[in-house]
Amino acid sequence: MPSDGRTPPVVGWSLAVAAFAHVAYLALLITCDALPVVPFGFVPHFDGRQVTVEQVQPATLAARGGLRPHDRLRRANGQVLEGRVDWQRMRVQLDPSRPLELDIERDGHPLKLRLPLSAGLGEWWSEPVRPGLIAFRGAEVIVLGLALLVAYRRSSQPSALLGAWLLASFGTLSVALPGRMFFFWQELPQPLEALLWVPFATSFATGPLLFAFFAVFPRRALSPTNLAVSLLPGVAAVGWFVFVGRHLNQPLGAATGLPDAIPWVFATWCFYALAAIGLLIAQHRRLENLTDRRRTGVLLGGLGTGVTAGVAFLAIYKLDEGPIFGNPLLTVLALGWLAGPAAFAYAILRHRLFDLPLIVRQGVRYALARRLLDALIPLVGALLVIEAVLHRNQPLSEMVQARWWWYALAVLALAVIRRRREHWLAALDRHFFRERYDAERLLQSVVTQIDRASAFESVAPVVVQQIDEALHPVFVDVLRHAPGEGLFTAATDSAPRRLALPASLAVIGVLSVLRKPLAISLGDTAWVRHQLPLEERTLLLERGVELLVPVFGDDGRELPIALVVLGPRRSEEPYNTDDLELLSTIAQRLGLLLARSHGDARRLAECDSCGRCFDEGATLCTHDGDRLSVRPGSRMLNGRYRLERRRGRGGMGTVYEATDDVLDRKVAVKVIREDLASTAFGRGAPGRVEARFRREARAAAGFAHAHVVRVYDFGVDHERQPFLVMELLEGETLRQRLAAGAPLAPQETLLVLRGLCAALDAAHRRGLVHRDLKPENVFLQQQEHGFITKVLDFGLARAFAADWPAAPGDDTKLTSAGLMIGTLDYMAPEQLAGDVVSPSWDLWALAVIAHEMLTTRHPFRRTVVVGNGLASTIGDVTTGDAVSILPPAAATFFDAALSSDRTRRPPDPMAFLAKCEEMLA
């Protein structure tokens, strides 16, 4: 076979011809069954070289033609009768258009009888053996279909092709040659007539093929020489039967002189069947591979069932001596052997097998549950029918009137079932296939995270972790190609050194050609095992490698730049097509990330006057002609977001209007301040703070609210600079509105506060605290009839807070000298003191903002001293300069809302809003 596992053309054509021959042969057998000759009505008895009439059934052709018991049959249609083979020759060449001419001897006197014949579907339809024949031939059609499937799916594996040949012998088996067989055979074109001798021989080679198959599957048990010697008796038996078949196809006339070959063939079958079972049992005890042991267990179960049914069939047939399928028990036993072919096909086709109890238990539970849901509507309908039948003598109007509640419930049940049936079926699928759904969601999320990542090294551990959670392999890792060392080495710190793979492996060359995942199964059903060099097979076996997923860059190199390596799944289930497609997508995204993260560092040119952005190399603004300033960073963030114009700067960073090249839409991108990012990312382990930023940004992105700016995306570019992608808003910040110097009207203030309080209340319920609420982070989005309040930068302060633990359960505070996130004028006393994060921080800032909107002034004079720490003096609100312009009710409210005693403040944002509405009424 070719090293890539493809079937050579000569083998493909040979399989096609063999498949055609077997299908044609089975069609011939079915034709003989469907167009039978009317029964003769007598039973011939074979004694030595004499054929006599044993019994004549009344009202049959024989009885009407004058045939009597003990008549000796000399000739039939000119065929001399001296034994069973002579009688078979006459039967298989019978022409129903001519009467059956019998030369008999009765009491020493010769007689001639003519029995008129008829044949066709009508005769078949009236035969008592028809149901048994239909069942038996239907089973053979299924088995032959399995044979073709195995040959097609495993055409590159010799042992599987032998199994397909064995299944084909099961699928064309005939306990006895059907009548008129060679009559139809001789009418076929000569090439097809010659071709049918192959399946004819195959159909009587079941025993030797069974033994040969178990000698090589699932592991080779006999050497080729020993196997050939062992098959000699079987080859002789099959050859003898083909020899007899050739004589049966000769013109009628002289006696054949051949003994009956059927007993010899059956004896050969039994001998080889017992030898095959013994060989399989010996293999089962010797095998160590769990899948191979399960495979032999399936074969033993199927073979035991089939052989038991076959032996019982032959025993009852010999005792009964009636028509083969006239006895219903014989029909059932004849179908019992179907267990054997089904077990063979399952064992050959399945890459890895499970325990049978698990398969049966899960399959039956799912099937019963689904059938129950499917049967609900017919069940309710049947109850209505039964109700109508039980009261059929009662008028319909009286029935409905007497039991209206029953019919109302039935109609309601039908409506509910019809409406909810699809939902229930989907829930059932989720229950039984929840692991598959969860795995697909996890792998799809990996793709999203890779697209958002800025560096291969930072995302590789995430890829490994989530593939492990989704597919549960024994191990998984990402290996990168190190050209200088000629190795693929682990890209994650936790990966064991044993997973390094030489780049010179032959399987790497195969991956370079296929450019798709490759299952390196070490079982007999995988072509890779037979094609790889011995030392390479040993290496992969020691590593336990089951699946290799290549990662290619966009530089045109043939060799993969990385590999995703997986061991077998802990459940022993093979990786299916959906798994391979998702893993291919992950590999494609990793390749793009590698290409992106290895690009040269670029710089962004920006106009200080108008804020427009340009690529590196531009020196003058095309809009106003001013000279451009250059800063580190790329204009294109992660290959997707192109910065167009600076919209503003804040305490956390700079906001740009940008274009999302993937979705072709305008967005706002907030690039975190360079000094803040470098200070934050400089502390702790590499990738630790990036992961924290991603976690908080993901939480902010998942917080959707009408009064919170929507976060579309987030990431860290190759300069390790974090950014957020948000919806682009038109309008102004609250700070810009207050800069005009005039306070907001009470109704306008309430409009802003309603949006703010609604957003904060929803956030606090989710456990989110803003930490840096101020007028700069309150945006008044312009609309056709006024504005709507939007809160900016949710979660951003938390991502860079110096006093926030790096991971859940980690009480270590990441501190950095001089780094404090938040705006001093809006920080609550407990926030300044470094207390545990609390929603009261946001409520304090909310009260300060409300005071500013009503007065345009800050409610306090603060004195800040920077020494060993931070300190501030907070005066009483009633003594502040701004108090004189507030009415007494408002002064009382702010005195409580801005009290250093948290118990005096409103407990939550909605309570704060209610007090404000009462104050401004």
Any idea which residues carry the catalytic annotation? 772
β-strand partners of 105: 72, 110
Sole residue written with tokens 């948000």: 726
Q: Are 115 and 65 in contact (CB under 8 A)?
A: yes
Nearest by Cα to 22 from 197, 246, 238: 197
Report DSSP state, residue 490: E
Cα separations in angstroms, 442 against 335, 570, 621 = 46, 18, 46
Report DSSP state, residue 664: T
Q: Are 913 and 893 in contact (CB under 8 A)?
A: no
Classified as helix, coil or strand, 104 is strand
Nearest by Cα to 211 from 192, 228, 194, 193: 228
What whole-number distance in Å separates Cα of residue 365 and Cα of residue 478?
Answer: 38
Q: Are 646 and 654 in contact (CB under 8 A)?
A: yes
Pull the structure tokens for residue 571. 């459940």
Separation of first and last alpha carbons in the chain: 90
Per DSSP, the residues of 597-615 read HTSPP-EEEEETTT-BEE-
Cα separations in angstroms, 631 against 604, 611, 643, 674 = 5, 13, 13, 10
Report phi then psi at 739, rounded to 5: -65, -20
Report DSSP state, residue 545: -
What whole-number distance in Å separates Cα of residue 609 and Cα of residue 614?
Answer: 13
Nearest by Cα to 853 from 772, 766, 733: 733
Number of Cβ within 10 Å of residue 178's Cβ equals 20
Report phi then psi at 884, rounded to 5: -65, -25
Pull the structure tokens for residue 360. 């049966």
Nearest by Cα to 34 from 26, 42, 22, 45: 26
Rounded to 10 degrees, the C-alpha dihedral 813/818/824/830 comes to 30
Report DSSP state, residue 756: H
Q: Are 671 and 654 in contact (CB under 8 A)?
A: yes
Pull the structure tokens for residue 130. 């028809």
What whole-number distance in Å separates Cα of residue 226 and Cα of residue 10?
Answer: 28
Q: What is the largest CA-CA distance in the chain?
A: 147
Per DSSP, the residues of 344-405 read HHHHHH-SS---HHHHHHHHHHHHHHHHHHHTHHHHHHHHHHHHHHHTTTS-HHHHHHHTHH
Cα separations in angstroms, 530 against 1, 6, 18 = 10, 13, 25
Cα separations in angstroms, 457 against 463, 693, 718 = 10, 16, 11
What whole-number distance in Å separates Cα of residue 661 and Cα of residue 646?
Answer: 18
Pull the structure tokens for residue 81. 């009768």
Half-sphere exposure of 99 (CA within 13 A, CB side): 11
What whole-number distance in Å separates Cα of residue 87 and Cα of residue 108?
Answer: 22
Task: Tell me the residue length of the chain.
Answer: 921
What whole-number distance in Å separates Cα of residue 883 and Cα of residue 877?
Answer: 7
Number of Cβ within 10 Å of residue 595's Cβ equals 16
